[in-house]
Amino acid sequence: MASLPPHLDLVDGDDTAVPHAETITRPPSPEGAFSLSGFEVVQREDGEDDWPFKRSPFRSLLPRLWDVLSVSPPRRQSPLPYNYSNSSIWAPKQIDYTQLPPLDGEEGELIDDEACFFCPPVRAVTGVDILTLLPPELALNILVLLLSPATPNPHAPAPAVLAALADHAADTTEALHALIACRGVSRTWFRLANDNAVWRAAFVGRWGAPPGPPRIAPLSAIIPPPTPRHPNSTLDARMKKLPALPPNEAPLPTPSAPLALDWCTLYRARLELDRRWEGAPDATTAWEPRATALAGHADSVYCLEFSRTHIITGSRDRSVKVWGLRSGRLLGTFAGRHRGSVLCLKFELGPEKGEEDPEQALLRGFLVTGSSDCTVCVWDLWTERAGEDAPVYGEVRAVLRGHGGGVLDLRIDERWIVSCSKDAAIRVWARDTLALHRTLRGHEGPVNAVGLQSGDYSNASEQNSAEEGRERHSGRVVSASGDGKMILWDIASGERVRTFEGHDRGLACIEFKEDVIISGSNDCKIKIWSAATGACLRTLVGHEALVRALAFDAQSGRLVSASYDKSVRVWDLATGRVLRVLRDSHTSHIFDVKFDARRIVSTSHDQKIVVLDFSSGLAVDPALLC
């Protein structure tokens, strides 16, 4: 052709012309102020409307080229004629490519001696797909690392913990978006991003591994079907080159849990569960949990604790009752040992040690109850047959005496039993011998609640805590009193470490997890404190009456509070935002509340135990979610 319009370039080696602005070139060697910083896309100075095809939205995904050629370079004579009557039609002609003149330095050398251009409406960039070229094991490991954000350190200072909770939520959401984007790159990437091990890493990176052995359905019901493969795929071709197993070796058995689970389905279910917890700005569209009421006590239910299998409650009717968490059945009643109301309790109940199959094991446990009769009772718990709905029996092992008033709250760990009372004293008992270790005095009013921070009880734990930067101690207690003060105590020395003041009225409840202390008061406020510095980090306002109970999960950053205003509130501790307000569960004052990933359990003056289940209707076994 004799000539070309100034905005078109001839493609070297082909009978095609493309707009100059859409031609990717590699410019000559840099000089002067230029540096080898990469490549950039050639831009045009004239309007985009001159080119009849629209630009692709994928243009932003191109790598940046090194230089921008704003002026069209000189062009050599084209060997093809150009038909001006129709700019999209090119006259065919045989070309002798060996006779074409070489490219000069002013025009620039085309990438790989070929024209790299975009043919509208589809534009693409050729390159190296590193993930596909890697062995499948390495490619999967890269995706696993992508989905494994840094886990918040629970031993960090309280301000860092609150900041890490927000960062972790943002990082895990970004990782999920990245995984979804990987699924849309190509068929190979789709198969890699759908691998069960990748979704397991996504689940564990966001919520952690499920505590304890999960209840697993038959393998045939939960193993996902194999991902269809194309016979000519790169992965299949590489797998065919792998050597066969020796004739005397059998294939490996089918993997058991956790990889036997369908982790993608489990991830979706847990994500939906979190969405239900957060509710919605419009109360009419918010998902409402299913409420179940347990009735059996003859008077107000003051306290409760629950595990993955059982709920235990204490009442003003002087009895302790054990319920099946799944079925709601009453499994045991302990009465006649306390001569006053059961105001507080803590328990541990699980399979006997050494049992290989938890489903078939007998249960053994430990229960501590405090009463208005000024005593603390230590109980042994057991079942005589396996199963979560087996009857639970209890017998008092010892009665701890010493308080001069009703025992209002209790805490236990592997070494200590800590109790507080209306007599303004805190007593620490050795769990193994049940002997009184120390009495802590310093409050001017009744001690309504205590929190216990377990210490370093072995050389191994001392070494680990030193590596994590955690302060070494043999246990600490924080006490909340009706005098409006909180005091942090060291168990070993009995000395007062710090006093916290900030509430306008007396304190009613407290939570103590590592460096984070959370307090609820008769001033209707909830405050978050740093145990190390004594600083008040945040104040949560919303309740309209005394805040009676608190429950906090450090991993999710979720806080649940209960009040005499008959409401239960769910808070996001990282932001201080209230997620839900549940008002219709009880008809009177709420005395205690506990929760896990699936449910909230609360007790009230209306004699009911209410279980609010957020996991109903999900497409997985709810036991796998907590």
Pick 351 or 525 by higher pLDDT.
Answer: 525
Strands 17-19 and 8-10: antiparallel
Residue 328, Ramachandran bin (φ over 0: left; ψ between -120 and 50: alpha; else beta): left
pLDDT reported for residue 35: 40
**Would you say residue 443 lies in a domain?**
no
Residues 26, 66: Cα–Cα separation, whole Å? 8
Domain membership of residue 574 (yes or no) is no
Average pLDDT over residues 294-314: 95
Question: Is residue 81 scored above 50 in pLDDT?
Answer: no
pLDDT of 107 higher than 80: no
Q: In the predicted model, is pLDDT for residue 63 greater than 80?
A: no
Task: Work out the average pLDDT over 123-137.
Answer: 74
Domain, as residue range, for 49? 1-127
Q: Which of 165-174, 457-466, 521-530 has the lowest mean pLDDT?
A: 457-466
pLDDT of the residue at 219: 31
Is pLDDT larger for residue 542 or for residue 3?
542
User: Which of 14-18, 314-318, 583-587 comes out lowest in average pLDDT?
Assistant: 14-18
pLDDT of residue 548: 96
Q: Please state, rounded to an integer, the average pLDDT across all residues of the chain.
A: 77
User: What integer pLDDT is reported at residue 577 of this predicted model?
Assistant: 92
Whether residue 248 is predicted with pLDDT greater than 80 in this model: the reply is: no
Got the DSSP string for 543-596? -SS-EEEEEEETTTTEEEEEETTS-EEEEETTTTEEEEEE-SS-SS-EEEEEE-
Identify the residue with better confidence: 252 or 525.
Answer: 525
How far apart, in whole angstroms, are the C-alpha atoms of residue 224 and residue 197? 12
The answer as to whether 62 is a domain residue is: yes
The count of structural domains within the chain is 1
Question: Where are the extended beta strands (E) located within 384-491?
Answer: 392-400, 407-412, 416-421, 425-430, 436-441, 447-453, 476-481, 485-490
Q: List, for residues 7-30, the tens digit of each pLDDT value.
A: 565 555 455 565 655 555 444 444
Residue 84: per-residue pLDDT: 42
Q: Determine the pLDDT at residue 66.
A: 39
Indicate whether 313 pLDDT > 90.
yes
Report yes or no on 350 lying in a domain: no
The answer on pLDDT for 509 being more than 70 is: yes
Q: What pTM was estimated for this model as a whole?
A: 0.71
**pLDDT-based confidence at 486, cuts 50/70/90?**
very high
pLDDT score at 259: 54
Strand pairing category for 407-412 and 416-421? antiparallel
The predicted model gives 119-142 an average pLDDT of 73
Residue 549 lies in a domain: no
The fraction of the chain above a pLDDT of 90, given in percent, is 44
Q: What is the pLDDT of residue 599?
A: 94
Phi, psi of 330 (to 5 degrees): -80, 120
Give me the pLDDT at residue 280, please: 59
> What is the distance between the alpha carbons of residues 614 and 29, in angstroms, rounded to a whole number?
64
CA–CA separation, 608 vs 615, rounded Å? 21
What is the maximal distance between C-alpha atoms in the chain? 111
With cut-offs at 50, 70 and 90, classify the pLDDT of residue 418: very high
CA distances (Å), origin 268, targets 227, 261, 273: 18, 13, 9
Lateral strand order in the sheet of 416-421:
407-412, 416-421, 425-430, 436-441
- pLDDT of 79 strictly over 70: no
Q: Write out pLDDT tens, residues 359-406.
A: 678 899 999 999 999 999 999 999 998 888 899 999 999 999 999 999
Q: Give the whole-angstrom CA distance, residue 492 versus residue 497.
A: 12
452/10 Cα distance (integer angstroms): 79
Q: What pLDDT, on a 0 to 100 scale, did the predictor assign at position 528?
A: 95
